[in-house]
Homo-oligomer: A and B are copies of this chain.
Amino acid sequence: MGVTIKDIAKHAGVSYSTVSKALRDSPLVKEPTKKKILAIAEEIGYQPNVAARSLVSKKSNTIGVIWPTIERVAHSALITRINQYLEDQGYTTLVSINRINTAVTTFNRFQVDAILLFEDTHSDYRFSSSVPVVSYGIASNQPEVPTIDANRREAMKEAVAYLHKLGHKEIIYIGEISEQDPLQADKIKGFKQGLMENNIPFSDEMLIPVPELEQYDGYIATKAMLDKEKKPSAIISSSYDCTKGILLAIKEYNLSIPGDISIISYDNVPQVEKLEYSITTVGVPLDTIAKEVTNILLDTIEGKQMDQSILLQPEINVAKSCRNLYS
């Protein structure tokens, strides 16, 4: 085990420092020598030792992702995407599923170049990290940790405004009604604000709660809602999975979209393309978020000063699921 540059050096009959330079493609070593060394390295299966390398270079080309709640599937698509972008930039991501403090400590020991923190709830922690930390989702309770997030509130406001522009007044919101989860709470705030700004009176029946944001929950909630005599003209769904369930329920009741009922879905994930209906969505495209987060991580590594808090602006992706009541 453990082929080192010294082994390569022996095989090639050069000094190990020459090998090091050849492997890093330094101009300080002649082309033929470089070729030869590279070939030998390949042949004897050389793998650079990160420990040694980062010991001297103080860089590990690794980003630590803290994701304590893997059991909740919420961020997995985003993390996958970010991982890809970082890989393109020559970085490796490593995920820790431990408590925030433990994870920060681990990543500091490993001298990752930056830490990306996903947190779902406002938990009470406090850590010190010599490695820069960027938080996605909700503002960390460490004020010095910059945060990036999608502007959920704005998205919901836009959704309401869009529906109102099409003449909708009986709008309902299907989603998680939780004070605990600030991400969900924010959406509801946006919904209410949107109503207010468009002079639509709010009432509690406009909020249909679901226990979780899964397909199943959307399905059940929608069926219960459709069983009532008074049906809304439009539904705002608070997540893609929820939307899937809503669509199925609507189909089961033989209602047409957007003929009988309009629907706009939060989340801007590529999967919407695959749905049976062409669904209008609002939100920050997953890919945009991934790109932004990646860039911020890279900037942070390069020591660029950044804003403390970045809110990504949502986009409406108009499809055919909302009916214009005026036409």
Interface residues of A (CB under 8 A from B): 1-2, 45, 47-52, 54-55, 58, 60, 70-71, 73, 76-77, 79-80, 83, 87, 92-98, 102, 105-106, 108-111, 128, 130, 214-216, 219-220, 245, 248
What 7 additional pairs, Cβ within 8 angstroms, besides A70-B79, A87-B102, A93-B97? A2-B130, A55-B55, A71-B80, A73-B76, A87-B98, A93-B96, A94-B95
24 example contacts (A-B, Cβ-Cβ < 8 A) are as follows A2-B58, A2-B130, A45-B128, A47-B105, A47-B109, A49-B55, A49-B109, A49-B111, A50-B110, A51-B52, A51-B54, A51-B60, A70-B70, A70-B80, A70-B95, A71-B73, A71-B80, A80-B97, A87-B98, A92-B98, A92-B106, A93-B96, A110-B110, A214-B216
Flag if B47 contacts A108 (CB, 8 Å): yes
User: Complex: how many Å from CA A128 to CA B46?
Assistant: 11
Interfacial chain B residues near A76, Cβ < 8 Å: 70-71, 73
Report the minimum CB–CB distance from A272 to chain B (whole Å): 16
- 4 nearest CB pairs, A to B: A216-B216, A95-B95, A1-B130, A51-B55
Interfacial chain B residues near A94, Cβ < 8 Å: 94-96, 106
Interfacial chain B residues near A50, Cβ < 8 Å: 51, 109-111
Interfacial chain B residues near A54, Cβ < 8 Å: 51
User: Complex: how many Å from CA A216 to CA B221?
Assistant: 13
Report the minimum CB–CB distance from A69 to chain B (whole Å): 9
Interfacial chain B residues near A83, Cβ < 8 Å: 97-98
Interfacial chain B residues near A216, Cβ < 8 Å: 214-216, 219, 245
Partner among B47, B80, B97, B214 whose Cβ is within 8 Å of the Cβ of A95:
B97
Copies in the complex: 2
User: Complex: how many Å from CA A55 to CA B48?
Assistant: 12
Nearest B-chain residue to A87, judged by Cβ: B98
Nearest B-chain residue to A3, judged by Cβ: B130
User: Complex: how many Å from CA A215 to CA B213?
Assistant: 13
Report the minimum CB–CB distance from A93 to chain B (whole Å): 7
Interfacial chain B residues near A109, Cβ < 8 Å: 47-50
Interfacial chain B residues near A95, Cβ < 8 Å: 70, 94-97
Q: Which of A79, A96, A216, A245 has the most CB of B within 10 A?
A: A216
Report the minimum CB–CB distance from A116 to chain B (whole Å): 13
Interfacial chain B residues near A93, Cβ < 8 Å: 96-98
Interfacial chain B residues near A1, Cβ < 8 Å: 130
User: Complex: how many Å from CA A96 to CA B92?
Assistant: 9
Interfacial chain B residues near A79, Cβ < 8 Å: 70, 97
Report the minimum CB–CB distance from A64 to chain B (whole Å): 9
Interfacial chain B residues near A49, Cβ < 8 Å: 55, 109, 111
Q: Which of A50, A54, A79, A80 has the most CB of B within 10 A?
A: A50
Nearest B-chain residue to A245, judged by Cβ: B216
User: Complex: how many Å from CA A49 to CA B49?
Assistant: 15
Nearest B-chain residue to A106, judged by Cβ: B92
Report the minimum CB–CB distance from A96 to chain B (whole Å): 6
User: Complex: how many Å from CA A94 to CA B105?
Assistant: 13
